Structure 1
Amino acid sequence: MKKKTLWGKKLLSSAAVLALGVSLLAGCGSTDTPAAGTGGTTDSGKAASGDAFAFESVSDVTFPLEEKLTIDVFVYASLTGGGTYQNNYVTDWIEEKTNIHLNFVYDVDGDDAKTKLNLVMTDPKNLPDLFLATGWTKTELQDYGKQGLIIPMNDLLEDAPNWNAMNEESPMRRADLVMSDGNIYTYGDNNECFHCRYQNRMYIYMPWVEALNDGHIPETTDELYEYLKKVKNEDPNGNGLADEVPMSGFIGGWSSDPTVWMINSFIQCNNPLSNTNPTVAAGLVVNDGKIEYSVMKDEYREALRYINKLYSEGLLDPQTFTQDNTQFAATLKNETPLVAVYPAGGPQTDDEFWANKDGEWQNWEVFAPVEGPEGVRLCAKNLDNYFGMGIGSISSTCEYPVIVTALLDFLASAEANNVQSYGPEGLGWNFTNEGTSLAGGTPTVEKLIIPEDYDWLGNGYAKDYSGENGKHYRWASDASVRWSSARARGELMIPDPDHDTEFYLQKAGELYQPYEPALETLVPNLVFEGPDAQIISEATLQIGGYVNQALVQFITGDLDIETQWEEYLTTLEKMNVQQYIDTYQKYYDAYMANAAK
């Protein structure tokens, strides 16, 4: 292991501090060594021996440190109901475990947070040591790295045990954190949501399946078509009215439009019209290393023909592309059942806490993707995001980046992950090996309910997460350094699997997993630079917007799929779609080259 460079930052002498009356020193390396009887602070950055913090590598760092070390921290994330990161149980716990005092000199949220962060970055000599969470895009992060305001962490992370173990468990994690210049400027997040990978799901009303289809859930596009016709024509709700809605949905909810679910029976496509989570490279796929736009393929055209048939025959609700959530909910939750099939990430039939009790949601079943006429049976897959809010970047003015990196790696440990997420052990959570886990096996962690009237030893900590009664008991998830992989999350104990939201959604994800596209066909979240970033940004809005508009028009018949398809392709060509694809290809090639290193 080669010796890491210690980026220098000169601190004021103790005499100067006293003369100026400064009560708090900025800078990674500020140490608290009380003078006799005073509890005073020194700012030499090192103990008397001169080497208390001069570790050569992350693996050399042992917590707690022999001397108190203060580091200045910026965090851009909100705590629900007020409160700060400084006045927080987690922050106190970290100090106890590591002997590092986190001085949150910048603790901001709200609409003006980005403006404040931009101002911070205009003063290179007074940067905080650690950017815990920033909300930067990858392009912004790399730009600050190239300006020398934050440091590359490649060498620092070489022997960070938790960081490397996370990368082994999650093969796409490291590549997601390497920028296009080959550098790693952030420690990164690890919050894998298993069921979110397969969130474009479809639900079917089982009482009608039993009555009309002998309990057989459709498995092909033809079977789905025939079943929807039965719903339309056979009055399954028995009220004598032709008021049944075979398939419905709406735009603007959590995977609440039916298009991408049906398109994946014809061709791989990750371009949902409705998704509350951002879709990376919508409509783009990788075929033998080459970026392709699936929405220009003949198979995509066949998918639109099929959906248009459903629409034109009244099997797909004509309100799907015009109604909002309120209108959709009114139809779905009607006293007399009306809807047979609808798309969503989760059940929409009950109130917010549907899983906590028996209810109408139990009449609905998630059903798997159906097979198309050419044997295609896929689901849309969303990529895990390991970049998060830009977790853990180190400024160029930090004197002890080795220690800061070790701190970030410590926070990714199992215990620290639980403390950040749930609060104190024994009060917010416990280790356990009893009961059923989220993934259906033996659990390792049990989440506890903190009593509303609990006063933590008179220290004024909050009774709940609101922060109204003192300190918060946890950090906000967007500003936590986590090792919350699908495996780790799957080990959380579920007290009542039959009435638990996450357990229900986990099983839905497990149903869809066999139909996921190959990992190598997914376009990763790439980093674009300079003019190329503008090309991608503009094309995503303009070309992507046109594709979505045409999708709806082909389905509704406003565009004729037989006579106006070529016009659609010509319009895309005039919009420089090839430049859009080529730009993606350029950065995908760079991504793959960096991933192979």
Structure 2
Amino acid sequence: MKNKRWLSLIVVAVLLLSLAACQPAKPPTESEKVTPQATPTGTDKPVTPTGTDKPAETPEPTPSGPPPRKGITLTLGLRKNVHVEDYDTNAFTRWLEEQSGLDLDFMLFASDTAESATQLATMMSGNEKLPDLLLSIGNLTVAKTIELGKDGYFVDLKDYLDKSTHFKAGLAALTEAQQKKLMTIGADPVTGAIYAAPSFSSARDSIDAPFAMGRINDEWLKKLNLKKPSNPDELYDVLVAFRDKDPNGNGKADEIPALGSIALYRADIVSWLLNGFVHINNSHGYALNITDGKVWSPYVTDEFREGLRYVRKLVANNLLAEQTFVISKTDEYRGIICPADGSAVVGLVAMHPTLHVVKENERLFEYAPIMPFKYAPFAADTYSYPTIITADCQHPDEAFALIDLSYTLGCSIRSRFGEFGVNWDWAKPGEKDARGKDAVIRTMPENGAVWGAQTNQTWSAGSFPSLPKDRAGAFTNDNSLTARRVILMNQYLDEYIAYAATHSMKEIAVTTELVHTEEELTKKEKIAPDISKYIKKSIAEFCTGVLDLDRDWDAYLATLEGLGQKDWVAIMQAGYTRVMGGK
């Protein structure tokens, strides 16, 4: 029986709506990107019963636990994706049914996070029957998921996870620190109950992992007989040459020495420059740093101020375009990087190769990767808990078997790449993925795009949990500009990873890595967004000269304190200490 607490339900409704409304700006959806051919994560390959590393013809994993009974129907609640033609006849749905022996039905929520949160809150407050499983509905926080689980709405998955097959195998492939975080963040700190299936994504597995993708025009460097700069002073001299020596050779003073956008995904050249002075990571808003277990703010340091002074110098001398602080639309940014006449006008730029370059433009390949000069931050590792079995589910054993199936390589491949024999096949010996490692599969682009396209092959969304062990690098024989860009992005990632090995702080304090009490979470969600907005605004104003770094610095620090920076640091410290014990 559910322990109905009507006051709590009102709070749930309000919280769900507020969480949906206050989500930080997200990176572009997969449908907004040029579809990458792979998200390579190493060389894991499916294993045949004989133990060889060569994939079987059709290595189909089966769920752990007792074999599911035929004739059982599970209803899955998930947000509707406009790219899916029909969930009932979808190839991914059919595969799940074949592997599990279950019949799957769907309760489709609104595709918008806020609307799905409203729908879920309405169902709960009205005592309506919930779907058997909830897949990424409403962006419930871990704290709220635990509260609702304790109230009897969700099933405790702890014993299921402990006895699982595929989840435990994936968990064992993580580092000890990653395992500890994953199992601690999602658990009730008192009882140890876990009410949502854990999912983990390593920043270093994603081609979008570098927080800002710096590139410099290699053709201009060659023409002016310059070497790639390796520190801020050398960069300043190179940008002066870009400004004054007509590197594009058109006889016009139309070169933009450096350009970025503090508003666009992976284009923040300002934070890239500031990392030559202090570790700044704004992949989840302006994050705090952790050194030897101590949380601290880089935005009040002398090094941060010195970095701002350097960027101000670039702007004042027409070396960094002021558009960097104004541009907020991808099309506008793309139009500057790739003018209609095909010329090159930008020297140093932070850009995402598939978002910020016109599809047919070859200009991208004139730019060489350039690393930040002191610190190389990554987007944070992601610890999430997207899948819940509700108390209304009459077959929780079968429901968890379906969840456990989602942790397999076969499920991961099909959810991303589509149907075996139609959209992909196992890679042939010697074929490499986009990072030059042994490929697990080979895609069939001749049969059309899958991810982000109108399809009946996948659900076009990462609805189920997953672990890195379950992901596969892909080979493609497609020599299109899109495929070449993806290879270029992966080459950048590998160079960035190698550089970051000696130029990156080990940890940053971001929401996804910490455990907060509900009181702390409420307070953090009240103060952290305002602090982050103020830091962003102040960076722009210091760099463009609206604020003076001598006259206005003390007022800037006082405003941060007034917004609650000390509380922010203390809350993040408490959350980190709960997970890692301050170590």
Whether TM-score is above 0.5 comes out as yes
Answer with 314-323 or 491-500: which moved more: 491-500
Tell me the equivalent position of 1:532: 520
The reply on whether 1:344 has 2:351 as its aligned counterpart is yes
Q: 1:209 and 1:347 mapped to 2: Cα distance?
A: 23
Aligned partner (choices 228, 235, 256) of residue 224 of structure 1: 235
C-alpha displacement of 1:165: 2.5
Deviations 1:476-500 (A, max 9, x none): 2232444455x834x2113257852
Letter in 2 for 1:423: G
Tell me the equivalent position of 1:445: 441
Deviations 1:209-266 (A, max 9, x none): 002234x211111110110111112222233333221101224322222111111111
The reply on whether 1:492 has 2:474 as its aligned counterpart is yes
C-alpha displacement of 1:294: 0.8
| SS in structure 2 of the partner of residue 74 of structure 1 | strand
The reply on whether 1:319 has 2:323 as its aligned counterpart is yes
Q: 1:237 and 1:438 mapped to 2: Cα distance?
A: 31
Tell me the equivalent position of 1:198: 210
Q: 2:428 and 2:124 mapped to 1: Cα distance?
A: 47
C-alpha displacement of 1:207: 1.3
Tell me the equivalent position of 2:337: 332
Q: Answer yes or no: is the 8 Å Cα contact 2:334–2:357 preserved in 1.
A: no
Q: 2:345 and 2:260 mapped to 1: Cα distance?
A: 13
Q: 2:123 and 2:86 mapped to 1: Cα distance?
A: 19
| SS in structure 2 of the partner of residue 247 of structure 1 | strand
| SS in structure 1 of the partner of residue 209 of structure 2 | helix
Tell me the equivalent position of 2:11: none
Deviations 1:281-312 (A, max 9, x none): 62301111111111111111111111111111
1:549/1:571 Cα in 2 relative to 1: closer, same or farther (>3 Å)? same
Q: 1:97 and 1:77 mapped to 2: Cα distance?
A: 23
The reply on whether 1:567 has 2:555 as its aligned counterpart is yes
Once the two structures are superposed, the pairs formed by residues 11-22 of structure 1 within 5 Å of their partners are none
Aligned partner (choices 414, 426, 445) of residue 431 of structure 1: 426
Answer with 422-431 or 227-236: which moved more: 422-431
Q: Answer yes or no: is the 8 Å Cα contact 1:152–1:185 preserved in 2.
A: yes
| SS in structure 2 of the partner of residue 436 of structure 1 | coil
CA RMSD of aligned residues (A): 3.0
Q: 1:151 and 1:397 mapped to 2: Cα distance?
A: 9
The reply on whether 1:185 has 2:195 as its aligned counterpart is yes
Tell me the equivalent position of 2:19: none
Q: Answer yes or no: is the 8 Å Cα contact 2:71–2:103 preserved in 1.
A: yes
1:160/1:536 Cα in 2 relative to 1: closer, same or farther (>3 Å)? same
The TM-score with structure 2 as length reference comes to: 0.79
Tell me the equivalent position of 2:490: 506
The reply on whether 1:545 has 2:533 as its aligned counterpart is yes
Which segments of 5 or more consecutive residues in structure 2 lack a partner in the other structure?
3-61
| SS in structure 1 of the partner of residue 471 of structure 2 | helix
Which segments of 5 or more consecutive residues in structure 1 lack a partner in the other structure?
1-6, 9-57, 272-278, 371-376, 453-461
Once the two structures are superposed, the pairs formed by residues 65-214 of structure 1 within 5 Å of their partners are 65-80=68-83, 83-106=85-108, 108-110=110-112, 112-124=115-127, 126-138=129-141, 139-171=143-175, 172=178, 175-176=181-182, 178-179=185-186, 181-182=188-189, 183-190=193-200, 192=202, 193-214=205-226
C-alpha displacement of 1:173: 5.9
1:498/1:265 Cα in 2 relative to 1: closer, same or farther (>3 Å)? farther
C-alpha displacement of 1:586: 1.4
The reply on whether 1:384 has 2:386 as its aligned counterpart is no
| Residues matched between the structures, number | 503
| SS in structure 2 of the partner of residue 568 of structure 1 | helix
Q: 1:306 and 1:207 mapped to 2: Cα distance?
A: 26
The TM-score with structure 1 as length reference comes to: 0.77
More helix by share: 2
Tell me the equivalent position of 1:406: 401
C-alpha displacement of 1:582: 0.8
Q: 1:282 and 1:465 mapped to 2: Cα distance?
A: 33
| SS in structure 2 of the partner of residue 405 of structure 1 | helix
1:188/1:438 Cα in 2 relative to 1: closer, same or farther (>3 Å)? farther
Aligned partner (choices 248, 268, 292) of residue 257 of structure 1: 268
Aligned partner (choices 415, 423, 436) of residue 420 of structure 1: 415
1:492/1:522 Cα in 2 relative to 1: closer, same or farther (>3 Å)? farther
Tell me the equivalent position of 2:43: none
